[in-house]
Chain A
Amino acid sequence: MGRKITTFGRIIRTGMVNFVRNAWLAIAAMAIMIITLTIILFSVIVNAAFSNTVAQITNRIDVSIYLKDSVDKGQTQKLLGQIKALPNVASVTYLSKEQALQSYERQNAGNHDLLQAINETDNPLPATIRIKPHDLNQIDQIRNFVEKPDIAALQSDPVSDRSNARETVNKITHATNILRKTGVAAVLVFATISVLIIFNTIQMAIFNRRDELQIMRLLGASTGFIRGPFVVESVIYGVLSAVISILIINAIFITASSSLQATSFGLLDIGYSQAFFETHYWQLLTVQLGLGIFIGAASSVIATHRYLKFKTPKK
């Protein structure tokens, strides 16, 4: 056990020394890894921001029906029950005449003339039922039900639904899908390039030290003892690249919000993106570290494999 710990410590130390000695090669390998990790991180954040935008807009879409003043409590309760029983209904909110007025007053709190005019009349607002659908694309089911003649008869005004929002949602969803696909493609391409470059870096490091590796082999060094330092070296690339990529994204947000004063970029909600980045800071860092370590370790294990095989041709 003690020997294993000693050996492990030596492997780590040798890896760190090699990292410093191969600084120039390390910079090349890390540059590409940083780009890869930054793209991945950026894609994750943009994706979260777009999903949030879609959710927000979706949340605002509802079907509102306005009840005649003559509709009594019993009829209202019966109607609410029927609506709740419909498929695709996420929530039903009932606003009485008074609540509708309060809500209206809150919405127009700055407009004194309007409020005064309203107060002079005998509450002209109807009681309202707001129905939120689960699935926007099936909002017509709800509409069809509330427009049936017997239910329409209870209503003072035509059913309103904000279906123009549906188009916006579709557009965003479409854009998100395209972005997601291009993001995945970019990530794959850069991850591949990054693995290849790290792979080559390690191979060059091995090539420079092939005599040393041969000597180690002849002296009876185990595969792990020879390979270990290379793995440690490329894991250091991974860790540093992950941290730097997080710092880059952080810097981008600071620049965007402070000096550019931007709150959104096209459909991208920068405020939310930044908030998402800040609240998920540690998770994102962990994922980045995990990816960096994985890319580094995998490429070095593959790169060393060829040089560490025992020369034992078949009989």
Chain B
Amino acid sequence: MILLDRVTKTYNKNLGPALDRISLHVEPKEFVIVVGQSGAGKSTLLKLLTREERPTSGKIIVGGVDYDKLKDKDIPLLRRKVGTVFQDFKLLPNRTVFENVAFALEIVGVSTKEIRNTVPKVLDIVNLKGKEDRMPQELSGGERQRVAIARAIVRQPKILIADEPTGNLDPKHAWDVIKVLEKINRYGTTVLLTTHNQEIVNRLKRRVVTISHGQIASDRANASYTTTLNTPTK
């Protein structure tokens, strides 16, 4: 589903590469957690996957799309296939919860009738039923993040990329968000999650990829993680 082959990304030649010959393979329906300290290269990795950045070298294939052959005008089409959730939510502030989720469908030209039908179902999945008419600023951080997840999954992407979705949340809300991600994964969506949160990693018991200094330090299934050692242990 996701394939990276010896991918290197250098922003500034004097600073060395942000990612250094990373190879990673993620199967369909997998739930993969990417961990690493700030500046390790996690965000760079995700930006390469959403094509916000281009690799300096190496090959990236996501959902069958070879990024080397991807033209600028096809980037929107790629981003419609890959759902993305951000640490800072990135909700449209002047729109209600319903409108924020609907927006993802408006972009692709879904009919108003279909939008009215689909959005409530997705809001139900993320446990936000009854909050359709709230504005983002009236919601808690956890609720906002679940709106963002609803927006990311409403187009039923094969892949969901979540970049520190719990970074700004307290433990209870963070866990609510993670549970939603697990639910989506059970429905068959490949999930790629980056996080700092040791507790989440340890409770999830999923495949954990650790990035350190731009390289993959370890890649283990059903792993736990301690920030002090910064490497997962079996």
Q: Is the CB of A212 within 8 A of B92?
A: yes
Q: Does A310 contact B (CB under 8 A)?
A: yes
Cα(A211)–Cα(B136), bound, Å:
15
Q: Is the CB of B111 within 8 A of A219?
A: no
Q: Does B168 contact A (CB under 8 A)?
A: no
Q: Is the CB of B90 within 8 A of A218?
A: yes
Q: Is the CB of B76 within 8 A of A220?
A: yes
Cα(A211)–Cα(B86), bound, Å:
13
Closest chain B residue to A10, Cβ basis: B106
Number of interface residues of B (CB under 8 A): 31
B50, B54, B79, B109, most chain A CB atoms within 10 A:
B109
Please give the distance in Å from A314's CB to the nearest CB on chain B.
Answer: 8
Known: A4-B109, A215-B92. A222 touches B76 (CB 8 A): yes
Q: Is the CB of A312 within 8 A of B72?
A: yes
Contacts of B79 in A (CB 8 A): 217-220
Contact of B109 among A3, A218, A219 (CB under 8 A): A3
Contacts of A2 in B (CB 8 A): 111
Please give the distance in Å from B132's CB to the nearest CB on chain A.
Answer: 19
Contacts of A220 in B (CB 8 A): 75-80, 107-108
Contacts of A315 in B (CB 8 A): 54-57
Contacts of B52 in A (CB 8 A): 218, 311
Contacts of B90 in A (CB 8 A): 211, 214-215, 218
A6, A212, A214, A216, most chain B CB atoms within 10 A:
A6
Cα(A223)–Cα(B73), bound, Å:
8
Q: Does A71 contact B (CB under 8 A)?
A: no
Q: Is the CB of B110 within 8 A of A6?
A: yes
Closest chain A residue to B94, Cβ basis: A212
**Inter-chain residue pair count (beta carbon < 8 A):** 64
Q: Is the CB of B92 within 8 A of A221?
A: no
Contacts of B76 in A (CB 8 A): 217, 220-223
Contact of A3 among B77, B103, B104, B108 (CB under 8 A): B108
Q: Is the CB of A221 within 8 A of B107?
A: yes
Please give the distance in Å from B123's CB to the nearest CB on chain A.
Answer: 17
Q: Does B226 contact A (CB under 8 A)?
A: no
Contacts of A212 in B (CB 8 A): 92
B76, B106, B108, most chain A CB atoms within 10 A:
B76
Question: Which positions 217-233 of chain A face chain B at CB distance < 8 Å?
Answer: 217-223, 225
Contacts of B84 in A (CB 8 A): 218-219
Cα(A175)–Cα(B174), bound, Å:
79
Contact of A310 among B72, B91, B92, B111 (CB under 8 A): B72
Cα(A216)–Cα(B91), bound, Å:
10
Cα(A217)–Cα(B52), bound, Å:
10
Cα(A221)–Cα(B112), bound, Å:
17
A7, A10, A215, A315, most chain B CB atoms within 10 A:
A215
Contacts of A74 in B (CB 8 A): none
Contact of A225 among B54, B55, B73, B107 (CB under 8 A): B107
Cα(A312)–Cα(B50), bound, Å:
12
Q: Is the CB of B72 within 8 A of A218?
A: no
Cα(A315)–Cα(B58), bound, Å:
11
Q: Is the CB of B54 within 8 A of A219?
A: no
Cα(A4)–Cα(B110), bound, Å:
9
Contact of A219 among B56, B57, B107 (CB under 8 A): B107
Q: Can you name 7 A-B pairs with beta carbons within 8 Å? A: A3-B110, A4-B109, A215-B91, A218-B90, A219-B151, A220-B79, A315-B56
Q: Which 10 A-B pairs have the closest CB atoms?
A: A3-B109, A220-B79, A220-B80, A7-B109, A221-B107, A220-B76, A222-B76, A310-B72, A215-B90, A6-B109
Hey, which bits of chain B sit against chain A, CB under 8 A? Answer: 50-57, 72-73, 75-80, 84, 86, 90-92, 103-104, 106-112, 151
Given contacts A6-B110, A215-B90, A311-B53, 11 further A-B contacts (CB under 8 A): A3-B108, A6-B109, A6-B112, A215-B92, A218-B84, A219-B104, A220-B79, A221-B76, A223-B73, A312-B72, A315-B54
